[in-house]
Amino acid sequence: MRPTVHDIAAEAGVSLATVDRVLNARPGVRRKTVDKVQAAVERLGYVRDVSAANLAKKRTYPLVFILPEGPNSFMRGLEAEIRAAMQRSPVERTAIRIETVPPFDPAAIVGVLDSLDPAEVNGVALVATDTPDVSAAVDRLVDRGVHVATLVSDLPGSQRIHFCGIDNLAAGRTAGGLIGRFCNGRAGKVLVVAGSMKLSDHMDRASGFAAVLRSEFPDLEIVGPVETNDDADTVRQAVTAALDAETEIIAIYSLGAGTRGLIEALPDREQRKLAVVAHEVTEHSRQALAEGLFDAVINQDCGHEVRSAIRVLKARADGLMPISAQERIRIDIFLKDNLP
């Protein structure tokens, strides 16, 4: 039988309330008494029953998710997962609020961050542009006692407690390895299409990709990256223009969004064979994969990311450590053969 607060109280020769004070690091206990209780905890190997504590506290975890608005399919999928988590709120004792901001607008993110009341919010998960002002706003919020986790795109210089997303450097390398093998010895150029270099995930993917091509596939030369702000029409125009201008392009790596535009710009496979790797499984990319227009799609499971963010933020609010292996978001590679 696991020891309880009663056992600790008896062992330490104090009352329940005192034990509770020590366990929750509340003031008003003599140094001497604190030590006695902690010794008893050690001796009996006590671990607090979190669900009993939560029951007594009627605890809920007020959480805020900040993400870009707009037509980006991936972001809308992310939002859907957050809404799914909201459905489970009664069971998970969460109270989740979603704040959407215009995409690529650091000031808007800062505005939301600064408007948050630490008394009303326990944790924040946000999809952020990696800019100094956002980093500073995150740090301010952390200083005010709110736990912050980054989602999808990281803020490496900030005080965020956790990044819920994939290793984007490795994702870029993976794309490089895939495209290199798919081109299989042919020499030529690879067009790289990105959303914005203000996003650390896009930056990392581009670096990882370039590193692998440079070291392992020196016959492939990078064109770009061209920035499209993740807008489908811009992507379409950019890709069309590049393919017209450079006849030696034999592959495309699209590391951002706007996948619909990419698909529209792709020439008929019969007339020009291109190895294509893109990111995120969405309605569009799924179909492109199935039709053989894309060779591979690299994906991050946004459901996993949302659930992980919630677990991490809750655990942190309770001062616990989450199961780290469970919080590692995988780089999913989809071919048409393993599409879920």
Note whether 335 binds a copy of itself by CB under 8 A: yes
In contact, 274 and 46? CB cutoff 8 Å = no
Contact window for a copy of itself (CB under 8 A) among 20-28, 46-54, 128-136, 237-245 = 46-54
Q: Which residues pair with 149 in a beta bridge?
A: 125, 162
Which candidate, 334, 179, 173, 172, places its Cα nearest to that of 252? 179
Q: How far is the CB of 221 from a copy of itself (least distance, A)?
A: 19
Encode burial over 55-73: b for 16+ CB neighbours within 10 A, e otherwise.
Answer: eeeeeebbbbbbbbeeebb
Give the pair of three-digit tokens for residue 46: 């006590």
Residues 53, 133: Cα–Cα separation, whole Å: 38
Identify the three-state secondary structure at position 164: strand
Note whether 30 binds DNA by CB under 7 A: yes
Residue 253 — φ and ψ, nearest 5°? -115, 110
Among 39, 56, 119, 241, binds DNA (CB under 7 A): 56
Residues 242, 265: Cα–Cα separation, whole Å: 10
CA dist list (Å): 21 to 3, 37, 274, 322: 17, 10, 66, 24
Give the pair of three-digit tokens for residue 311: 């677990």
Q: How far is the CB of 149 from DNA (least distance, A)?
A: 24
Note whether 165 binds a copy of itself by CB under 8 A: no
Choose the one of DNA, a copy of itself, none that binds residue 323, judging by a C-beta under 5 to 8 angstroms depending on kind.
Answer: a copy of itself
Among 10, 44, 53, 243, binds DNA (CB under 7 A): 53
CA dist list (Å): 33 to 5, 43, 48, 65: 15, 15, 19, 42
Sequence letter at residue 171: A
- Closer Cβ to a copy of itself, 224 or 322, answer by number: 322
- Closer Cβ to a copy of itself, 25 or 47, answer by number: 47
Among 20, 139, 221, 332, binds a copy of itself (CB under 8 A): 332
Choose the one of a copy of itself, DNA, none that binds residue 90, judging by a C-beta under 5 to 8 angstroms depending on kind.
Answer: a copy of itself
Contact window for a copy of itself (CB under 8 A) among 136-144, 148-156, 263-271, 331-339 = 331-339
Among 39, 52, 84, 339, binds DNA (CB under 7 A): 52
In contact, 198 and 155? CB cutoff 8 Å = no
49-88: contacts with a copy of itself (CB under 8 A) = 49-52, 54-55, 88
57-76: contacts with DNA (CB under 7 A) = 57-58
- Closer Cβ to DNA, 55 or 187, answer by number: 55
Among 35, 43, 55, 80, binds DNA (CB under 7 A): 55
Sequence letter at residue 330: R
Sequence letter at residue 74: F
- Per the listing, tokens 């959407």 go with 100
Note whether 326 binds a copy of itself by CB under 8 A: yes
Among 9, 134, 178, 313, binds a copy of itself (CB under 8 A): 178
Residue 67 — φ and ψ, nearest 5°? -150, 160
Note whether 89 binds DNA by CB under 7 A: no
Note whether 333 binds a copy of itself by CB under 8 A: yes
The DSSP line for 272-290 is ---EEEEES--HHHHHHHH
Which residues are near a copy of itself by CB under 8 A? 2, 47, 49-52, 54-55, 88, 90-91, 167, 170-171, 173-174, 176-178, 181-182, 184, 208, 212, 295, 301, 303-304, 307, 323, 325-326, 328, 330-333, 335-338, 340
Which residues are near DNA by CB under 7 A? 1-2, 4-6, 13-18, 20-21, 23-24, 27-30, 32-33, 46, 48-49, 52-53, 55-58
